[in-house]
Amino acid sequence: MNIHSLVQLLVVIEECTKPETVVEELRRIVHSYGFEYYGLLRHLKQSQDPWGLVLAGHWPEKWPQTYVAKKYVLIDPTVRYLAQAQRPFRWKESLAAYRRDPHQRRMEQMMRDADAHGLRDGYIFPIHGKSGVLGNLSVGGEPVELSPVEMSLFETVARKAFWRLLDLKGEAKALESASLLKMPLTRRELEILHYLADGLTSMEISKVLSISNHTVDWYMNGLQDKLKAKNRQQAVALAFRHGLVI
């Protein structure tokens, strides 16, 4: 693998003047490392159709339709793990993190379906902002072993391509100004806020996070105080307004 090509790509992306050029350069480097499929996405919430959030990508034929039809977005372990990950991770790592989850069997079925479509394994590179996860780059296909240096460089490439595409589309400033708001929320509070925005109840959130219902309510009361919201509905509305959830 040519690490130099990843470093060079960072310069090339910055010099791109068209979104199509950024996408082509990203596709080229992903394929050069042996990944047949990839996706650069805005942050996905469990209630959303992921394919409407794709900035660039290529997936196996019929996989998007299968993913939506079987509502895998509701239990996708990679999406759930992404909300708390602070570093890049392999797809199989996310599944291992939810071995005792009530939805474990459906998660395993999703992974088997993905494998049948040619998505045997891959990596996810989170793109963080001050308000939490803003997006991610997912690459996969046949198993590929990346070194720690390559993973770090891919993470940098993901961030650079994400912001460059938004900049060329005229959408970067809005997201930057939203993400720079200094809301004193902890990582756990942001995580609960995202689930609350997805429409989950306190009981459902407690099961997902393996904490008590009372603990979830305690966090939610703190969120309302920090956001100066009268109720949970207003807290969610303010979170969207300030870019804390997207």
| Averaged pLDDT, 170-182 | 64
Q: What is the pLDDT of residue 84?
A: 74
* Percentage, residues of the chain above pLDDT 70: 89
What was the pLDDT predicted at 229?
A: 82
Residue 226 or 162, more confident: 162
Tens of pLDDT, residues 68-105: 999 898 889 998 888 777 799 999 999 998 888 888 99
CA angle 162, 165, 168 (to 5 degrees): 150
How many distinct helices (H) and strands (E) make up the chain?
12, 5
CB 44 within 8 Å of CB 67: no
Q: What is the pLDDT of residue 73?
A: 84
Mean pLDDT rounded to a whole number for the chain = 87
Please give the residue that has the higher pLDDT: either 172 or 161: 161
Query: Residue 35's pLDDT is what?
Result: 97
Task: Provide mean pLDDT across the span 169-193.
Answer: 71
| CATH architecture under which domain 183-241 falls | Orthogonal Bundle (1.10)
Rounded Cα gap, residues 142 and 60, in angstroms: 12
Confidence of residue 198 (pLDDT cuts 50, 70, 90): confident
DSSP string, 153-167: HHHHHHHHHHHHHHH
CA atoms within 13 A on the CB side of 101: 22
Q: What is the pLDDT of residue 131?
A: 61
Q: Exposure pattern of 97-112 as b/e (b: 16+ CB <10 Å)?
A: bbeebebeebbeebbe
Q: Check pLDDT > 80 for residue 153.
A: yes
Q: Residue 134: its pLDDT value, please?
A: 85
List the chain domain ranges. Answer: 3-176, 183-241
Q: 4-40, pLDDT tens digit by residue? A: 999 999 999 999 999 999 999 999 999 999 999 999 9
- Does the structure show a pLDDT above 90 at 244? no
Q: 174 falls in which pLDDT band (50, 70, 90)?
A: low
Domains 3-176 and 183-241 share a fold: no
CATH architecture of the region 3-176: 2-Layer Sandwich (3.30)
Does residue 44 sit in helix, strand or coil? Answer: coil
Global confidence as pTM: 0.72
Q: What is the pLDDT of residue 180?
A: 47
